[in-house]
Amino acid sequence: MKKIRKYLLLLLILLSVAFLNGCFNFREIVNKRISTQIDNKPLTREQLNEDLNILLTNLRDIMPKEYYTWPEHAVDSISKTILKNTTISKSEFLFDINSLLVSFNIAHLEVSFPKKKYNSHLLYDGSEWSLKLRLSNNFLIVDEANVKPTNLKGARLMEINDMPVDSLMSLFLKQCSGLPALRERSVIDHFGLYLLLNEIPPPYKIDFVDSMQKQQTTTLTYKNGNESASASKEKSSDKGFEFNWFNDSIAYVNLYSYEYQDIAVYSRELDSVFKQLENRCKYLIIDLRYNSGGNSVYGDTLLNHLTDKKYRVPEKKWWMSESYKKNIRQMFPWYMRSIALKMMGVKDYLNSPSNSYYKFDENEWYTTPKSQIHQFRNKIYFVIGSGTFSSAIYTGIVVQDNKIAKLIGQPSGDVANAIGENCYLKLPNSGIVVSIPSACFVRPNHDLDMNAPLIPDMLIESDTLNKYDRVNICKWLINKL
């Protein structure tokens, strides 16, 4: 009997360790499940037809019906083209699926592209691309180059593997969704991925004009297993903002990221900034022009310092569907399901009626700021522009619709009423994962224009804004006060 108890106790300990290990590796489990995993086996027409039907059924079932238009002609045309094939490779099918999703022109409806981490046979996944790019007067400029030759920094790219860069940009911009500014940002930030999507793998022969206006050629090669630029970024302890005084009464914060930085570090550093502003600063400028979004909790933490009044947040119209419920059951093991639903903020999702919108408590759309020792009570201005996306737009919406601050600059890079809260569908034959939005976030002022960006209260001419650094932004504001 003692031996039996001993073995039962040991079994209980092992099960507890396995359970805790699963919970602690929750993010990794989810990341693997929502990543495309493909091989080199071709797909038959029957397999193509099955995957395509599953995809189209889920798109119709999951997406919030009142907030998008189904592109009937494009979907039918692309579907027929796919099914003309007797067989097709999975990478070719992925390209076709991407084209089908792009026809909806919804920013968060997209393919999850395969990563080397979960596809051992892949030599490259696009993350190896080591040039940080920007567009200037329609030229593609190298902002940073983490490879030799060092004279690539500041260079104007002309050709890649003998293909004109402007032609590549035109092609790539047609292969992603959203407003023009969002598509531009997507291509520039994931240039290596779009090269691979179009079957242009490394090495890359780069023809460029350097900062001295000399034409040069170099070749970028990558060894399999090199750490990607994105992986390095994820390890960064960057706090996500920069703080400067312009003069004795005007302070400037460049809030350039809602990603990767430690929230505890961010909160502590932010609190130290507002301590400095106390009893001194009359005007605070917060620049979101370079913020592409991430976790909105960073914006919420900032707002705690800007207001002590309850404010209204965008209302989530979340469409309930059997397809999403099935996906949750397949995506998460039973012992993680309640954790996942709690993290998603909808613990009763599986028990809610389908084909209707989730019934949130009305209090969900109001936030009461956490009390802060260092509260800012003077004039606040947020700067936005075509580089402001996602959760950064969310912050801008909250401050504008609740009159917490004035927005200045140019319209945001994406729409104000965003469609998100994605469901990840894995197609059974191809292994391709598709990210399908299931909810619309309607701004507090109830403007239902689904194609409108966030418009600032005070416009700064586009070319002027693009040239403005923090000093010029502050000078501009002084002239308007």
pLDDT for residue 17? 46
Round the CA-based radius of gyration of the chain to a whole number and report it.
Answer: 25
Which residues, in sequence order, are CB contacts of 202 under 8 Å at separation 6+? Answer: 124, 128, 220, 221, 222
Give, in order, the Cα–Cα distances in Å from 352 to each of 223, 336, 348: 50, 19, 6
The per-residue DSSP string of 310-332 comes to: -EE--EEEEEE-HHHHHHHHHHS
Instruction: Compute the C-alpha angle 11/12/14, nearest 5°.
Output: 65
CB-based contact 135:184 (threshold 8 Å):
yes
pLDDT for residue 235? 42
Give, in order, the Cα–Cα distances in Å from 220 to each of 127, 130, 162, 370: 13, 9, 14, 50
pLDDT for residue 163? 97
pLDDT for residue 40? 84
Q: How far apart are CA 229 and CA 133, in angstroms?
A: 13
pLDDT for residue 478? 86
Tell me the HSE value of 428 on the side-chain side, using a 13 A CA sphere: 9
Q: How far apart are CA 378 and CA 249, in angstroms?
A: 11
Nearest to 429 by CA among 40, 95, 118, 48: 48
Phi, psi of 362 (to 5 degrees): -60, -25
Q: How many CB atoms lie within 10 A of CB 229?
A: 17
Q: Could you tell me the pTM of the whole model? A: 0.82
pLDDT, tens digit, for every residue of 374-413?
A: 999 999 999 999 889 889 999 999 999 999 999 999 999 9
Q: Which parts of the chain sit beneath pLDDT 70?
A: 1-27, 29-30, 148-150, 223-238, 260-261, 343-346
